Structure 1
């Protein structure tokens, strides 16, 4: 077969007969006899078959590099998808947590008792309930009593001996005050500074050693806690100048002083003002 340029390609030659002559050492060009002719069969290499276009495309150039890049892209895509799912999950949980906190805060506000005095509500401690809701339970004190914590205090105007003062407090539903903390002592001393007319205008409290000298007991029979005693300087002294029986009851107050040590023993027969105490009543009132 002849190619387009008129030459035969190697792929087209399959077999050819080549005659070789045996040299006789004659250089004169004498003809060689037929029996000296040696035939040799030469077979040409078959040219490699060309691949079709589709087969050539099927063999990618740099195949291993392309495969690695595709694997890396696939792994990266999977990681991004997982990160997106995790972010969405945590965002959802965060929203749920915030909603729960807001719900608990709202419930806590609804459960917080409003601090009321008669028909006055202190907004900082007892907010007005939302419209349509039942007013919350308030700790309240009767008219003439002053509230502190969970107790109500009455500061008398009239003066009477210790026993009479205690009876009056009991008729009012309480008893002479029993001081159980430094904070309560500070509250009472601050109030007395406002109410005392002169340095001797002091108030009975519910502490006495009338049963056994030196054994100070509160009106409920409990002993004086040494951690909460607020005797003034050189007190108690059990002075007998006014009463030969001595001083077996305690009054308190120091006009113009910020000190807490304002207890003085005094004869129980002395006429003094007094401080009554009772627990605040539980009741429902509408704060305005």
Structure 2
């Protein structure tokens, strides 16, 4: 817009009275015209005294940092929810397992009770029961673990190699003593057992027979004398050989890996040698 466009010309008439000499005002007015230039400007939309501010677009500024925070918050919320559901599922699973276990125990108890009832019923219903079959050693008290039973006696075949005296101490610590053979049947049982337990032909076992108190007088560990009609000496035994021990051979060991004719497998031996042993005690 040019400067001329902002100027408005207006005729303003001013009236000024004239004085006459007589001091009275003239009735005619003298008119004076003056040119007044007024600059026309565009009206302002601002209020007086206000400051002009940039116009906002009405929205907040979105930054990458805010986007990252929003995404992390969403992931954290999802993780918390997932953990909550997982914990709840585990709790339900544990409760289910416990319920199944209780049911299984109840079924087992039920089956056990039914089996007992059926067994009792069958026993009562038998009109002609058969006589029980008595197995060997069944009617006798039982031997403890590690001991082998024959009749009313229990036998322990030691795996330790001790002198005759130390072997006897081991048997006593176990509640017995070195074996005392009182019958051919007992000798047969022991001779067969030793064939199974001997590792080689030199693997021998001490028994509870000695003449250490008086040479030639054989006594069992309980002090009873040897029954000379019930002996199982190997041919030419006992010989009290002093080739290895000047004190001679005062204790007895037994055992033949290949088996002995007529069960004769007793040998006198130096009590200082180390052998395995046979312990015995009542069942």
CA positional deviation for 1:199: 1.0
TM-score (norm 1): 0.51
Map of 2:259 onto structure 1? 257
Q: CA offsets, 1:191-235, max 9 Å, x none?
A: 000111111100000000000000000000000001210000110
Distance 1:157 1:238 in 2: 26
Q: Where in structure 2 are the equivalents of 1:105-116 lying within 5 Å?
A: none
Map of 2:277 onto structure 1? 274
List 4+ stretches of structure 1 deviating above 6 A. 105-108
Give SS of 1:170's match.
helix
Unmatched runs of 5 consecutive residues or more in structure 1: 1-102, 110-122, 127-135, 281-288
> Quick check: which has more Rg, 1 or 2?
2
Match of 1:125 among 121, 135, 160: 135
Map of 2:168 onto structure 1? 166
Q: Where in structure 2 are the equivalents of 1:134-213 lying within 5 Å?
A: 138-213=140-215
Q: CA offsets, 1:114-133, max 9 Å, x none?
A: xxxxxxxxx6428xxxxxxx
Give SS of 2:141's match.
strand
- Say if 1:149 and 1:211 are closer, same or farther in 2 by CA, change over 3 A: same
Map of 2:242 onto structure 1? 240
Distance 1:141 1:193 in 2: 22
Distance 1:239 1:278 in 2: 31
Distance 1:217 1:138 in 2: 29
C-alpha root-mean-square deviation of aligned residues, in Å?
Answer: 2.4
Distance 1:150 1:125 in 2: 13
Number of residue-to-residue matches in the alignment: 156
